Amino acid sequence: MRFLPLDVSKRVFNVKRYKILLPLFITLLSNTLAADELEDSLSGFDDTAPPAAKDSTAVANTSLPDDPPASYTLNGYTALFSAYNYASKNAAVSLGDTPMDFSGLSRVKAKGGLSLEMKHGENWRSKIEALAWYDASWAINGKDNYTDDVLDTYETFIYLKDAYIQGSLTPHLDLKFGRQIVIWGKSDSIRITDIINPLDNRNPGIGDIEDLRLNETMTRLDYYVGNWALSSIIIHEPRLDIEAEFGSDYRPSDAFGSPIPYAKFPDRLEPHLNLENTQYAISLDGRFTGWDLSYYAAQVYSNRFDITAINNSLLRTFNKINMLGLASNVVYGSWLFKAEAAYINDINYRSTNNKNRLDALIGFDYMGKKDVLISLEIANRHIFNYEDKMHSMTLQEAIALNTFPDFVRQDSMQIALRTSFDFDHDNTTLTYLLSLMGGNGSGNNIDGGFQRLWVDYKYSDAISLSAGIIDYIGGDGTIPFYNAIENNDRAFVEIKTSF
């Protein structure tokens, strides 16, 4: 839930390994202060607003136009996305000893989505949205050259996204039931308290978090009083992250170390939809003049897997975690300062017992230059009662224990630095993003990450174009995953038509 009426969906910046490629040159393109525009954009921080101004899911802010009173709205889009891997060949175990080749043309994806919004009286509405895509690159490159699991994950996808009904039970109480997304926290690039919805991680680094969240079936009640909103959530559908397929270009067979046989990587045991697997969450959000404050508590599934023997087979299983968190935004002139913290207990680590962890983030957005936005976010994740084997256990040692290594540090830093520049009458946006992981609390180690530079161009109300490059950074190799995907650098382009 976000009370902040700022459009902070566009950010950017960059660096390669230890070198910054394209620093803040964008900020030199304009020197006109936008203080007046900032004052206008912050007008929503008026504490005389209606009780606890409801978030983007509230009926009051999302009802269909009243003049004329339309009962439904149907819209959609079609898009073509293509990517070319220009880095060196990335081979992974396939059938027998034949390597899979992911260099060159790596994506030719035709996508489409359809959304139907309906209004039911004055206080109720519903929405259904579905999307599908087909990637022809696998057929072009020869499907016999790839495993069935890779094809199942990347060739086709059909997804029921939004499917909910929402409305007001009383003037202060709203209900929303169905497949939906709940956004917690203030960060736009790093997840600290934003743990409700899982992510689509098949192509890490290509999209922003806002485009990667996966909808879950929930029942949500929002109660508004004064400047506060209390939300209680029951998550009926226990979805997990969609992960990169083992053996693919984003999860090669040597991701944990020396290559292991493809058939030896354990399958994933998906939690079933039942009362035992139900998840719960609650939040309290306050909005005041120039600042806001949120408290969170949740019991949800973790994305870390354990190895469990079931019916003489090793399977990857997932456990729930408990989280207590808080987050805040504060506006000062042209600056927006943000902070988040989350205490998470009972996190599963395969090399040892469950541990507790404290995640914390600080950051800012700077909007003092016209058409320019600069954002910096820094986070640290600290594991309590840390044991050295959580980082040092080798693949061979782990396999002997029927498990896999953790490869985690006691303190792991993450930085997200981005800047964006709007021009051509706001029809074009140039964005740069740097995301780096690693460090031991003192910043001496870089585990890896990526940098992405792209441009979004709005040709017309119906046609838009996006194109860019992404560069993956390997780091010092002590966390092997990033080195395993280092040669995935690629250029991409997408053209989209909306209707």
Query: What are 21-53's pLDDT values in tens digits?
Result: 333 333 333 333 333 433 443 344 444 333 444
Mean pLDDT (whole number) for 334-348: 97
Report the distance separating Cα 102 and Cα 115, nearest Å.
34
Whether residue 261 is preceded by a cis peptide bond, meaning omega within 30 degrees of 0, is no
| pLDDT 10s digits, 232-242 | 999 999 999 99
Please give the Cα distance from 336 to 329 (Å, whole number).
Answer: 7
Of 453, 455, 464, 458, whose CA–CA distance to 426 is shortest? 458
Please, which pLDDT band fits residue 13 given cuts at 50, 70 and 90? Answer: very low
298 class by beta-carbon count within 10 Å (0-12 exposed, 13-18 middle, 19+ buried)? buried
Q: What is the pLDDT of residues 53-108, one digit of tens each?
A: 444 334 334 444 444 556 999 999 999 999 999 986 555 555 455 678 899 999 99
What pLDDT, in 10s, does the model give residues 278-302?
999 999 999 999 999 999 999 999 9
CATH architecture of the domain with residue range 24-498: Beta Barrel (2.40)
Q: Which residue has the higher pLDDT, 446 or 387?
A: 387
The backbone torsions φ and ψ at residue 399, rounded to the nearest 5 degrees and listed phi first, read -65, -35
Please name the amino acid found at residue 22: L
User: What pLDDT was estimated at residue 60?
Assistant: 38
Q: Where are the domains of the chain?
A: 24-498
Quick check: pTM over 0.85? Answer: no
- Tokens 């060159």 correspond to 104
Indicate the pLDDT class of residue 403, thresholds 50, 70 and 90.
Answer: confident
